[in-house]
């Protein structure tokens, strides 16, 4: 059986400037506990650390046994660590107000006499609007630069890809909007009798927004500061999911730190009288570990055993962290 070439611990040492650490993978593989264990590990090293969830279906509060929804909350029993389930409700309401203003600017600019409300509702009812709000909250957190290390527990991989790819998508969209707006402004000035130069708040907003997205893109694609780790079980579907998504993350330029295998049954704990169910699970995992080594050899950073109890609370997170960073 191949061996880990660069462990999680060695990888972190080689990337001493790593500041933004993301965890993703198929649903149910253990993203949240790996993110939390990494945050606890960094806090124990004396680094001021924030553990943030961008998953709309948060589970940090349940994992930690304390309410961390909507605000930076010191984690009981772990100095230097704060946890935060990002709440998008306020951001969505604030965005509705901003969109209303921008649509009103646009309608006034185009001399269109109608109410903005219908446009606002259609824009904010879009399913992607919450993801957009989550992205805004995430980069706000990064821009404030209040912590040494940021550990993000992301949504299942498809959502995470869209979330992290937004800086690039937004950039392309804003450039098109700026070009259209500039053309409309030039045409309006040519047709105007007064030739008066008008202040265009929408144009100023678009320029500011483009600068903000570019700042976010630079942070998210900096291999010295950012890494995305994929968590998988030794099972066919989680392995297939991350195989596809690793390439997609490369396409967005987001640095991939490696692959972490969760819940591998420790054969040393089994005796000859083990139940057939367990023996079958071990045989199945053996086959899928061959695939893991075949596809990700050189990128496997840690292999963590299936524990006798679920991982909840700080003592179990420290135990998981010891296995991850051995």
**Stretch 172-187: mean pLDDT:** 69
pLDDT tens for each residue of 26-36: 989 999 999 99
The pLDDT value recorded for residue 169 is 63
Residue that wins the pLDDT comparison between 128 and 238: 238
Q: Is 23 helix (H, G, I), strand (E, B) or coil?
A: strand
The pLDDT value recorded for residue 132 is 73
Quote the crossing angle between the two packed helices 236-251 and 157-191, to the nearest 10°: 30
pLDDT tens for each residue of 98-126: 767 766 666 666 555 556 566 566 656 66
Rounded Cα distance, 94 and 100, in Å: 10
Q: With b meaning 16 or more CB within 10 Å and e meaning fewer, what string describes 208-219?
A: ebbebbeebbeb
Q: Using a pLDDT cut of 70, give the percent of the chain over it.
A: 77
The pLDDT value recorded for residue 236 is 97
How many Cα atoms within 13 Å fall on the side-chain side of residue 145? 5
Q: What is the DSSP letter of 269?
A: G
* 74 CB neighbour count, 10 Å cutoff: 13
| CA distances, 174 to each of 23, 167, 185, 269, 278 (Å) | 28, 10, 16, 57, 54
**Stretch 180-204: mean pLDDT:** 66
DSSP-derived secondary structure for 169-204: HHHHHHHHHHHHHHHHHHHHHHH-SS-PPPP-HHHH
**Stretch 184-195: mean pLDDT:** 65
pTM of the model: 0.84
Residue that wins the pLDDT comparison between 55 and 203: 55
What is the rounded average pLDDT for all residues in the chain? 85
The pLDDT value recorded for residue 19 is 97
User: Which among 255, 53, 249, 69 has a CA at the least distance from the CA of 154?
Assistant: 53
From start to end of 196-285, where are the E strands? Answer: 226-232, 256-264
The pLDDT value recorded for residue 31 is 94
| CA distances, 187 to each of 2, 182, 290 (Å) | 66, 9, 63
Cβ(262)–Cβ(34) below 8 Å = yes
pLDDT tens for each residue of 56-96: 788 999 999 999 999 999 999 999 999 999 887 777 777 77
Is the predicted pLDDT of residue 162 greater than 90, yes or no?
no
Quick one: which H or E segment has residue 317? helix 314-324
Cβ(113)–Cβ(11) below 8 Å = no
The pLDDT value recorded for residue 301 is 98
């Amino acid at each position: 059986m191949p061996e880990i070439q660069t462990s999680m611990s060695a990888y972190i040492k080689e990337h001493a400037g790593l500041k933004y650490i993301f965890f993703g993978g198929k649903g149910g593989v253990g993203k949240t506990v790996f993110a939390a264990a990494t945050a606890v590990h960094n806090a124990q090293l004396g680094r001021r650390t924030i553990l943030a969830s961008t998953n709309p279906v948060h589970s940090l509060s349940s994992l930690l046994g304390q309410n961390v929804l909507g605000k930076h909350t010191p984690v009981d029993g772990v100095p230097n660590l704060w946890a935060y389930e990002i709440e998008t409700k306020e951001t969505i309401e604030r965005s509705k107000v901003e969109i209303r203003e921008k649509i009103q600017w646009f309608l006034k600019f185009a001399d269109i006499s109608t109410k903005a409300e219908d446009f606002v509702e259609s824009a904010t009812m879009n399913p992607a609007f919450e993801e957009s709000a989550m992205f805004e909250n995430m980069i706000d957190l990064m821009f404030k630069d209040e912590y040494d290390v940021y550990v993000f527990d992301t949504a299942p991989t498809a959502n995470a890809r869209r979330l992290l790819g937004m800086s690039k998508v937004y950039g392309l969209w804003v450039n098109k909007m700026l070009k259209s707006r500039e053309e409309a402004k030039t045409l309006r000035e040519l047709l105007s009798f007064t030739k008066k130069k008008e202040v265009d708040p929408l144009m100023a907003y678009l320029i500011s927004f483009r600068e903000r997205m570019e700042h976010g893109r630079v942070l998210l694609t900096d291999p010295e500061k950012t890494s995305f780790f994929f968590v998988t079980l030794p099972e066919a579907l989680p392995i297939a999911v991350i195989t596809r998504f690793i390439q997609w993350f490369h396409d967005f330029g987001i640095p991939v730190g490696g692959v972490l295998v969760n819940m591998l049954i420790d054969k040393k704990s089994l005796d000859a009288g083990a139940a057939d169910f367990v023996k079958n699970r071990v045989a199945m995992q053996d086959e899928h570990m061959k695939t893991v080594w075949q596809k990700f050899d050189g990128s496997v950073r840690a292999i963590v055993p299936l524990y006798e109890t679920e991982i909840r609370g700080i003592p179990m997170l420290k135990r998981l962290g010891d296995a991850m960073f051995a």
